[in-house]
Amino acid sequence: MKCLNCGAEINNNLKISEIFFLKEIIPDYICNLCRQQLSPLANRNNCPRCFKPNSEGICSDCLIWEQKYGKINCHQALFEYNQFIHSYFKLYKRYGDVLLAKLFYQDIKNWSLKNHFDVVTYVPASQSHFEKRGFDPVYELYADIFDLKKLLFKIDADKPQAQKNRLERMQTPQTFFALPEINNLQKNQRILILDDIYTTGRTLMYAHDIFLSHGFKNICTFSLSR
């Protein structure tokens, strides 16, 4: 098997537990050299609300969310946003290399096996972005791992979040609407909302607000990068 990012050979050596105890074999699509360029967030004194690394408690961002907007985060992520992640999303989203959706399959799958929710949904692409790319990048990133339900509709914003500074991101108006399928869910179900990158949290908070306004209380979010 070759690394989806650089093309180098990957040796998926089986562990004894996988051979003798019929443990699920989770394939890896990223080589060790590429993996060494990642900055995992696990065990880095993360903010307990948004997973910001090296926070030593609730971070200033989450305190602002609570004090100014009355919102309390429940978010986890796998990797800190760095140059490797930036380059990855540039190839995946801007240049439309949909095969890269599987690059972090093993990491996301392992997280999913440790964290269970009744309903898993995602931040959808707007219609114009979908037509431009030909695929929905957040959906493709998670579709082979979670039983995704499309419950949100996103209208076009004035410009992409990636082109905005922090203040502009925070001032972005609500762009989500609930689809009728949201009314088929039970209000006590645990909801997980997936996105690709958490920067200020504005996008996921708006998605969170939709479920909150429909009577759901147990809502968490997750992203590949933070």
The answer to whether residues 176 and 210 touch, using CB atoms and an 8 Å cutoff, is: yes
The token pair that represents 85 in the structure block:
């992640």
Q: What would the pLDDT profile of 130-172 be if each residue is shown by its tens digit?
A: 999 999 999 999 999 999 999 999 997 666 666 677 777 777 7
159 and 112 inside one domain: yes
- Total tally of structural domains belonging to the chain: 2
H or E segment to which residue 64 belongs: helix 60-69
* Separation CA 60–CA 56 (nearest Å): 11
117 and 30 inside one domain: no
159 and 69 inside one domain: yes
* Separation CA 174–CA 206 (nearest Å): 6
- Looking at the whole model, is its pTM more than 0.85? yes
148 and 198 inside one domain: yes
Sequence-separated (6 or more) residues with CB below 8 Å from residue 6: 31, 33, 34
The answer to whether residues 105 and 144 touch, using CB atoms and an 8 Å cutoff, is: yes
User: Domain of 26?
Assistant: 1-36
For residue 159, what is the DSSP state?
S
22 and 129 inside one domain: no
Burial (Cβ within 10 Å: 0-12, 13-18, ≥19) of residue 171: exposed
32 and 49 inside one domain: no
* Separation CA 111–CA 157 (nearest Å): 31
Bridge partners of 221?
75, 193
* Separation CA 201–CA 222 (nearest Å): 11
* Separation CA 136–CA 122 (nearest Å): 10
14 and 108 inside one domain: no
21 and 131 inside one domain: no
66 and 109 inside one domain: yes
What is the distance between the terminal CA atoms of the chain, rounded to a whole angstrom?
Answer: 28
Task: Give me the amino acid identity at 219.
Answer: I
* pLDDT averages per 10-residue partition of the chain, 226 residues: 95 64 84 97 95 94 92 96 98 95 98 98 94 95 98 81 70 89 98 96 94 97 98
8 and 110 inside one domain: no
168 and 93 inside one domain: yes
Q: What pLDDT is stored for residue 20 in this prediction?
A: 60
